[in-house]
Chains A and B, each alone.
Chain A
Amino acid sequence: MTRQEYLSAIRKELSSLTESEVNDIVRDFDEHFEVGLSQGKTEHEISAELGDPVTVARTYFDDLEDVGHTMKESEEAAANGFAAGHAVPVIAPVSAGSDQTAGTAANPAPAGSAPQAATVKKDVSGARLFVVLFNVLLTWWVFLSIVGILLGFWAASIALLAGGIAAFIGIVAATGGWIAVLVLLGISGVTLGIGTGILNFFMTKWFVIGCKAYINWNIKLYNEGF
């Protein structure tokens, strides 16, 4: 394909754009031919390197179709902002939602640019009220009760263990027939202490895991709604 044929093909494919846009684009390709020729390439070689003019010209319209994708991406970015740790303002006035959507459409954000105004998808104020009330009224007391019970168990374990050890120490000072009873008491105390200690360890561990999950759930609910 010659230079003129290539440029005509581009021009024809872009006919739906304004004349100044078309001229500007064709000028870019003309410059490309010019530089290529000055480097000793032929028009046909340059055309071949540029690629099919119809395909290339149609790429100019991809941007227009991409507006939809760009919007989706920025919405996803806003929704994932908290999890990904980006500085995307997830908490934004709900009433501004529709305006911002329009703004995004008119001015598509290039993927990965500075965070755009977040597009709020739903009303989260109800969820927030729920989270606050639920925690104040119920969670607080349940949490304190469980902590109390766990502390009690720990105290019991430690007491049993300490009692057992004290009994063993007692053996040293003891005399005669008391030895058998003290040995028995010592062994059972230590065993019970260690046994309940292990049990307590796992209960405490599960409690901590549960608390973490509960806190994460609260944060998610607070930021994203039901």
Chain B
Amino acid sequence: MNVQFKKGVLDLCVLSMLKNSDQYGYELANTLSEIIQISDGTVYPILRKLATDGMVTTYLQESQSGPPRKYYSLTGLGKKTLINLQQEWMTFSRSVNQIVGGDSK
């Protein structure tokens, strides 16, 4: 898929994935890379940026194997931003589909 397409919506995707449960980096990277074909490594800079912007917080949690895992959790600001981004995305994608999907008529 087009790189520029992905870049704009990755924040939205990551925030959406954290909506229902806290997740650690590997989970997020794995799910995201399977669905929209990005390389796993792309997720970490996004997570760091979201943390810097106050959208997510992190905490370490012990796991049964290996080192403690860093979990990411939505903040209040992150939840609000997610709602805004979701609405914007719905409106935007509907508009684009109207133009691009014009062959249905």
Contacts and interface: CB of A to CB of B under 8 A. Distances in A.
Interface residues of B, number: 30
Interface stretch (A56-64, A91-99, A130-138, A199-207): A56-64
A53 B41 contact: yes
Contact of A110 (B11, B65, B69): B11
Q: Is the interface of A mostly helix, strand, loop or mixed?
A: helix
28 contacts: A25-B44, A28-B47, A28-B70, A29-B44, A30-B67, A31-B24, A31-B25, A31-B26, A31-B66, A31-B69, A32-B25, A32-B40, A36-B26, A38-B65, A46-B40, A49-B40, A50-B40, A56-B39, A56-B44, A60-B48, A62-B45, A63-B52, A110-B50, A111-B11, A112-B81, A113-B77, A113-B84, A114-B77
Interface in B6-26: 11, 24-26
B74 to A, nearest CB: 13
B80 A51 contact: no
Chain B contact residues: over half helix, strand or loop, or mixed? helix
Given A25-B44, A56-B45, A59-B45, A51 B39 contact: yes
A35 B27 CA distance: 9
Top 9 nearest A-B pairs by Cβ distance? A51-B39, A56-B41, A50-B41, A35-B26, A59-B45, A34-B66, A112-B85, A51-B41, A113-B81
Interface in A51-93: 51-53, 55-56, 59-60, 62-63
A23 B90 CA distance: 38
Contacts of A56: 39, 41-42, 44-45
A110 B52 CA distance: 10
B84 A114 contact: yes
Interface string A11-32: 0000000000000010111111
